[in-house]
Every structure is written in C-alpha cells, then in structure tokens.
Amino acid sequence: MENTQNSKYAATMAIVMGTLAMLVSFMAWSSIAPLAKVFMLHFGMTPGTGAQKMLVAVPVLLGSIMRIPMGILSDRLGGKKVFLALMIFILIPLAIIPHVHSYAAMLWVGLLLGMAGTSFAVAISYVSVWFPKEKQGLVLGITGMGNIGNAVSALILPSLIGANQDIQKAYTFLIILLVIFIILFAVLTREMPTDKNKTIGQALSVAKEADTWYLSLFYMLTFGSFMAFGNLIPTLIGAGNVLGFKIANTDARVLVVAGLWAAAFSAIATLVRPLGGVLADHVLPKKMLVIAFAGIFVSVLIMAFGTKSFAALMTGILILAVFAGIGNGVVFKMVPYVSKSNTGAVTGFVGAIGGLGGFIYPFVVAAIGNLKISFLVLAAFAVVCAIVLYLVFFRGGDTVVENARD
C-alpha cells in the first residue's frame, strides 16, 4: 500500500511540477518576442524589420535543435536531474539580457536563452514514465500546457516594464520566479526510473524509424505555426500598419495590445492541447489529424484573404490556435508508441523539427514580403501534411496511430 501511495505521489508531483516548471521555462524562452520593439529602439534600430524577426526567432532555433540531446539525456540520466540543471542554466541569459547594449550581443544571448525551449523534451520524458499508456494522451496533453508560458509572457511582461520600458523589471521577475521553481522542483519531485545500460546509439536509433519523421513533419505544421504566430503577432502589430491598420495610442499601449492578442492566441492553442490528447485516446489519432489539418488550412485561408481586415485576420489566427493546439495534442499522444523505451529521444526529434517550423516561418514571411502569399504557403504546407497522412496512415497501412489508441 505504501509503495502504491508513493508511486501516486511521485506521478502527481511529476505532472504538476513538470508542467509548471515547463511553463516558467517557456516564459523565459518567449520573453524577447513581446518586448522586441523595446529592444530594437534600445539598440537604435527600426522596429518591425527583418532584424526584429531575427531577434525573435533566434531563441527558437537553439530551443528546437537542442531538444534532441536533452531528451536523450533525460531518458538516460533522469528527468529531475536534467530539468534542474537546465533551469539553473537558464538563469544565466536572464541575468545578462538587461545589461546587453548591442544587437549583435543580444543575438548571442538570445541563442543561449533558447535552451529554455528544450524544457519541453525534458518534461515529456520525465512525466510520461509515471503513467500507463491508456492515459498518455491526457497526461501528455496536460504536460504540454506548459506551452502557455508563451501567453503568460506576452500578457505580463509588456505591462510589467511600464511606460518607462524598464527591461530590468521584467527579467528580475523571471529570475525570481525561476529560482522559486528550482527549489520547489528539487524538494517536491522524485527521480524517474532510468535504464543505465541504454547507449547513445540505442537512443539515436529512433531516427531510423519512419514514424519519427512523419510525426516530426506533422508537428512542424502544428507546433511550428503555434510558435511562429505566437512570436509574430507582437512584431506585426507593434510595427504599426503592417497589417493594414494603426493603433492610435502610445508605444506602451501598442505593446500591451499586441501582447494581449499574442497571449490570447497562445492561451487558446495551449488550453485545447489536452483536448486533442483526450480525443486521440478515444478516436483514431489519424482521423483527429485530418480534422486538425483541415482546420489549419481553412484558418490560414481566412487570414490570406483577410489581410486588409484586422477583424478577419485575427479571427483566422484564433481559429488557427484551436486546430494547431488540437493537432499538438494528437501528435504527442502518438509519440510514445514510436519507441516506448526512448520517449525522450522521440520527443526530442519531433519537438526539434516542430520548433524549426516556428523558426523558419517568420523568415518566410519576411523573405516573401507579402502576407497573403506567406499565408498561402502555410496553407500549401497543410495540404502536403494531409497528403502524407493519407498515403502513409490511411492508404499505406502504417499502424502506429492505431496502436496509440490501444
């Protein structure tokens, strides 16, 4: 009885603290986007340019690529140890950012800050081992709600810096919050069971599984669009009339309004993520992905043909949030079934490719220079994912998505 109680306690604390620690880490990871205009003015540069998109995208790059080794480390060494080490590391760029006075230096610090994004792979690896397979959709959906850290940053940070735009206040707040959760995580959680005999080669073997790459492609669409638009919304609105409208108010007010829209987008996508996981527990995941891809396609078309209407464009963006969030939950319901002993490694691969989608798309927007065409490119990518889904999982007979419901 005592062992059962201990196991329930460990599982409960794993999902609670894993989700909350990821939320705080994501707040740090996405902290630059809602304040990007302030940084650009601080560096004497023009807001809303390609340079600002680069500044916002750089943390996404490292946070995506490093998910692979961090997921593997979590599987081998234990999620608690790796998560604690990661959060302590994140304190370094948070402490440096308020003292950076050049754009070039900020890019390097932003790259370091990107490590906070690897918290996703660590959290999924750590939490998943405590729960049976029939609950994986719900559990991983709940854990994925740590993504809401994007929304919290967008909502809180622009108001926190005030009219005088004091960056120091925002990053002091993040440091204090992170230190609190480092202590709580260390005290309240237990280390997960690990296989000490597992080699790096065995962990990397998931790259040979075709399903790893199929799920990565799908996640590049769902999570990539989540990350891309969560970061692009403040940049586009903060730039003034980029979307064909103007907010007639002070710069500080523009930041707050942009932050509210970005927060709404991120919050919706995050809150419906568990719904996607739960539905995939009861409905074939491949059928749920059809719905998700169709919803993303329609929402992007609304955006593409509504670029001159703020109401139409934001309606499309919020619909995108719903279906991207559902898609995220469905994809990660399927992840543990690719390689049950290497969940962290699969999570790292899928999360890395998905995150790269969030890194690449803002540059697609900047390179094309036309929002309508940029959105149509995303719609075309949704069609590509739907075709692959049909050929591989419907017509081709790949069963990993069926197994994910067993």
* DSSP per position, 272-306: THHHHHHHHHHS-HHHHHHHHHHHHHHHHHHHHTT
Q: Are 365 and 371 in contact (CB under 8 A)?
A: yes
Could you give the CA distance from residue 322 to residue 298 in angstroms, rounded to a whole number? 12
pLDDT at 153 over 80: yes
Residue 7 belongs to domain with CATH number:
1.20.1250.20
74-88, 227-241, 258-272: which range is least confident on average? Answer: 227-241
Q: What total of structural domains would you count in the chain?
A: 1
What is the rounded CA–CA span in Å between residue 374 and residue 370?
6
Residue 293 pLDDT: 96
Quote the pTM value. 0.76
- pLDDT at position 250, please? 46
Query: Which residues neighbour 255 within 8 Å (Cβ) at sequence distance 6 or greater?
Result: 34, 35, 37, 38, 158, 234, 238
Taking alpha carbons only, the member of 254, 25, 31, 227 closest to residue 119 is 25
Average pLDDT over residues 29-53: 81
Q: For residue 349, with 0-12 CB atoms within 10 Å meaning exposed, 13-18 middle and 19 or more buried, which class applies? A: buried
Residue 48, classed as helix, strand or coil, is coil
The predicted pLDDT at position 178 comes to 96
What is the C-alpha separation between 251 and 238, in angstroms, rounded?
8
Query: Can you give the residue range of the structural domain that contains 22?
Result: 2-403
Quote the pLDDT of residue 177: 95
The predicted model gives 179-196 an average pLDDT of 88
Question: Residue 383: its pLDDT value, please?
Answer: 96
Measured CA to CA in angstroms, residue 98 lies from 28, 31, 66 at distances of 13, 12, 25
* Structure-token match 């204090």, residue found: 176
